[in-house]
Amino acid sequence: MDLCPSSSLLNRRKPCPYYALVLCLLLVVSSATLGHGATPRPPQQQENPIFDVLVYGSTPSGILAAVAAARHLGTNKTTSCKRNIGCGADGSVGCPCGGGGGGVALLSQRAHIGGVASGGLGQTDIGCEETTHGTMPVIGGLALEFFQRNAAKYDTVQHRSPWNLEPHVAKQVFLEMLREANVTLLHYGEVESVLKNNDNNHIESITMVGTGQRYKAKVFVDASYEGDLMARTPDITYTYGRESQAQYNESGAGSQGATAMEYPYEYFDPFDKDGNLLPLLRKEFPLPKGQADKQIQAYNFRLCVTKNSANATNPLRVPFTKPDDYDPQMWELLRRFWRHWPNSKSPHKAAQGQAPTAILGKIPSMDNKFEKFDANNCGWNIIHTDMIGGSWEYPEANYSYRKTICKKNFTAHFLQRLSRFVWSFLTNAFDFVVAIFVLHYIGEAHVSYTKSFLWFMSSDASVPEHIRSEYANEWGYCGDEFHETDHFPPQLYVREARRLVGERVFTQNDATSKVPRGNESVGMGCYGFDSHCEERYACTDPKVCTVYDKPYVNLQCGCGLEWPGVYQIPVWVLFPKKTQVKNLVVPVCSSASHVAYATIRMEPQFMILGHTAGVVAALSVQNGDAHQAAPIQDVNEDKLAEQLLGDGQLLKLPDDFELDDIIRDSMEQQIS
């Protein structure tokens, strides 16, 4: 393995960090004082609490799963909750409630609660609720209740009500729903191992990293974005990356190849004057179209931003600042883009020049004098807030690796994590060197990348003056959001990671088929097949790189498919194979192909599936005995449909709804 490749993830050409080995030895003594992780050690909890349902992951899907399970089980039995050292700053996540009396518990992976919905994604991805020909209702149940409760917090009707969210208000609503349902909020942490009884294929308990704390439950719900509890369950089948076209007969599957010319449709030289590959380009060349690979669509942070008005200073605005590790050389490709931009012939030139990104969804604001926006990536630009290529290793990475990808305080975290690898060094020097290499080069990649991008746009002379001035003098973070992380979003937008492989897999053909599913349906979706760019690379093979007669920068993005229309989501996407595990429900990393996941991955659909997972879990507990739940795969679909409909869930379009009257103008809103 080449530990000092010419093109690392960020392709920074810096000396190989052999000095890190020496530094690590100096840090052996400090490991006791630095601690063993980024989170404080929680207080001692009751030994092996037992719950009826334990939900892992405080994503919107996980929160609604816990609320649904608690409501359907009736009285949720918990003990009193005291705020102790190690709790969340506001007591919202991390109150170590004991419990041996059943009930429902929510176990968050981190101090932040609410996933991306309270972490910056304010312009909710709907897909087809809004068209010029009326509404196409697909969102109901607890998801709709959540959005309506958000809207009710404001004295005046907000933009795109009720769908757009203000992060701290969304968090408040989530917490209210959990408290009203009397859900036990456990101290946040990460699952280390899963104990399964191989005689009956039931998960008996999970054990947490660092503390060794064990939790038992009759039914487990893995609602994390990463599927970590699922992946640690013995014998379970899951996957990640892109299947081949042949596997499920999907025309949009697999590599998109190198033949298409993706954004920005114009020529850029991928090499510097010495023939070295520019930073932010990956050296891997795409496989032929339709072949399977392990590439992962790009992640980013959904920024909550505001700007100065024309006549007044905005007290909410926190200016973008220069990161300590800012490296102007890393942005040479973007510099070339902006130097060329005044002469650009791109049909998207106007969108490329918007600041701080071409996608600015206005979100609600408690202070109506100041506007707030959700800033997403600008897909028309060659470089934007999506860190293309930075997500490939994330799904299967261990917790330490992931946290180096998106941890805010790199210096302190580097020292902490370095000390944790001491034992690895003593027992396996090669693994330690690899770990140091990862920490040194990846670092706080997504946070650093995003902050450096914002500073480049605010300061680099290549950026047109009117755009640069907007970044530097008008736009900034919202000062009333994310206080604990200096107003930067605490949640990385993990668009896709692992995916369950159940007895059946939801595919492109399932999403485009209009065959009614009856009571097998648990909800609906209608978003486009939206897979963000996987790779930015140098197209150098003249056999397939034919757009220009010399090497050029290209991107591999998307699935190349039309809008699927409205589709029903079957209950079986939640279920592992019955021969593998009988008491685990998976509403986020569900049983879907990469192509189908590109439409089912929207937060409203995650919420719909979380609601369903909670009802399934409750029914399984009720249909079981005092010691274990009935297999989740045996849930009665008629009974499930009855309870979901009673909760207001929408399982199909109204019989008199005319799809032919709906045009696809809503596609302009699809900005996930």
Instruction: Find the CATH number of the domain harbouring 108.
Output: 3.50.50.60
pLDDT at 502 over 50: yes
Residue 539 inside a domain? The answer is no
Of the candidate ranges 209-218, 418-427, 439-448, the one whose mean pLDDT is the lowest: 418-427
Q: What is the average pLDDT across 488-516?
A: 96
Residue 627 inside a domain? The answer is yes
Residue of 496, 607, 478, 598 whose CA lies nearest to 114: 607
State the pLDDT confidence band at 111, using cuts at 50, 70 and 90.
very high
- In the chain, the number of structural domains is 1
Residue 416 inside a domain? The answer is no
Of the candidate ranges 23-32, 108-117, 119-128, 366-375, the one whose mean pLDDT is the lowest: 23-32
The reported pTM is 0.86
**CA dihedral sign of residues 91, 93, 95, 100:** positive
pLDDT at 615 over 90: yes
What is the per-residue pLDDT for 128? 78
Decide which of 8 and 140 is more confident. Answer: 140
Q: What is the average pLDDT across 157-186?
A: 96
Of the candidate ranges 92-101, 203-212, 406-415, 642-651, the one whose mean pLDDT is the lowest: 406-415
Q: Count the Cβ atoms, other than its own, within 10 Å of residue 451.
A: 21
Residue 91 inside a domain? The answer is yes
State the pLDDT confidence band at 561, using cuts at 50, 70 and 90.
very high
State the pLDDT confidence band at 310, using cuts at 50, 70 and 90.
low
| 283-298 pLDDT tens trace | 889 999 999 999 999 9
Residue 612 inside a domain? The answer is yes
State the pLDDT confidence band at 347, using cuts at 50, 70 and 90.
confident
Domain that holds residue 201: 50-240+565-669
Residue 193 inside a domain? The answer is yes
pLDDT at 380 over 90: no
What is the per-residue pLDDT for 262? 63
pLDDT at 478 over 80: yes
pLDDT at 144 over 50: yes
| Torsion angle of the four alpha carbons 220, 223, 226, 227, in this order, in degrees rounded to the nearest 10 | 30
Q: Are 278 and 13 in contact (CB under 8 A)?
A: no
First to last CA, the chain: 36
Q: Are 230 and 236 in contact (CB under 8 A)?
A: yes
pLDDT at 318 over 50: yes
Residue 353 inside a domain? The answer is no
| 567-612 pLDDT tens trace | 999 999 999 999 999 999 999 999 999 999 999 999 999 999 999 9
What is the per-residue pLDDT for 43? 44
**CA dihedral sign of residues 607, 613, 616, 620:** negative
Residue 66 inside a domain? The answer is yes
| 220-276 pLDDT tens trace | 999 999 999 999 999 999 999 999 999 999 999 999 998 776 666 789 999 999 999
Average pLDDT score over the chain: 83
